[in-house]
Chain A
């Protein structure tokens, strides 16, 4: 093996990849790395002394000695046909070979340790481009070396088209993180508030149930109008989310104003009698007024059902519907009415970005999809808005991936419990598209086998996860439900599934960032979520029942149509989740404080 040409100038491109790529399910790397920021451990004494003798410069210049495979894996450059072997025991190749940084001699681990005299302690793994301290006998990490690797990777990668991530689009405001400050009104503001608002509770002997101050405001059962538990369960989950609740309670969509506007339209389009009263937001506004009126008798969302059936007419039948389908059409119905209030020419810029209506402000996130050519590594990236994430339940189970193989918890789960994290892992895993699904590569100018990987570019304020329990098989013309328990955490850190983390791990989790617009750490600050509501489905496909578990003021309530009861945390953890709602922690901690009745 050539000595490291650390002082030679760069001459031309790295030689093209000589060996066929190793087929693998994931490109280089892919272990799930959870935390946002890297914590570099202090260097061992040998690395420190290497640095002190101008080691930084030579480490950084090592990029010339590295070659990078199409999918990003870095290794020490070698001549075509050259097979590295240990200088002391040439017959054995071994899985690990180390090249000394000082003299470029290659040894197997055993002989590398023997070679480690003064100045020769640091070596590099020839196949993996990882530093190794032969004196300490352990793999070590160094910023300068990683910088060299990243530089080599950047040089080798075919220039991708640069898609404009959503922020570059006009009208998309980057969500800034602001510190929450308490606000207390001064006397003038207090008067304004008093004059401009109406009390939530009517002090009436009929409403004696409201005497208990511990019961959350706005909590009321919803009457089942005939197989409408799918509707009730979704409403209970949505109505109590702080953002929409505050939106409607502060009159941001008043049914009195909206109806006037529609009525005026009605005069213009004579004969459109029904659509004048079709506004799901107005019905929600009415619902909020009813919920917070102080009356604790169950509420009948009849008008809402009526409006929804007009909006989504293919669902207008007296049979059990799927709660998730309803959720999507409901959001769509609210969005449709809300964003009509904006000027038409603004529509194309802001739809789906979160500025168009309350539902997108709450639920809208952005997914990033990367398609990589397995031959040349060219990656094409697209961004798509989403309001929720639907997760498949594998036929095999989604084991939670453990970095620590000795963890007994992981081994204890050998019965194979599916977990939400496991499903998300699979969702963001690099997937090799079949040879029958070759995609056109801009670089190669032919159709090639590709890898596809999803990641989350922008997190929503409320993350909704939908577990796909209902399987429809068109071949056998039959549907069935998957009853398997799916474990879900109460606290969820979404960092491992962000585009920044996925990208970083795709290129080997190097210390310094790779050059990509999605590598900003900013995104990772608002990645912590708390469970807010769980919609469960019990029974089978034809005759099932939806209920919602709702978390208010650190207490769990079960919303079973008209019945609101208290349940323990254990009941919720053990339930069969169908839809999960997580709220960003920064929002939730303020919202869940008990409002003192004054």
Chain B
């Protein structure tokens, strides 16, 4: 009961997230994918995403802090983050990736750390929003 309620309120709140540009059409596609056999699909995937992207961003930051920055690796990270955020529909995160990827081509370390901070911020923001919506991701995973 509690789970359903939370999920419902989350789904309602999702509209707000759409409006605000946190999420885009791809997220709706995900919502449509959830069915009886996979009721928590959205939650599951979103959790996966947060886990994965936080790891990615951490890796990115670590790589950036090194003496000889491996730009190829960074590019790969950003690319992957872009891919997963676009698959989820995390619009702002994705856009941030798109925007700061250029720094990679230019081998601009400052720009990259700047960009990754922004991306991280968006990620966190999204996570917060979702939690606030009552679709508390970490908590919900206990129920599923």
A and B are interacting partners: no
A contacts, CB < 8 Å to B: none
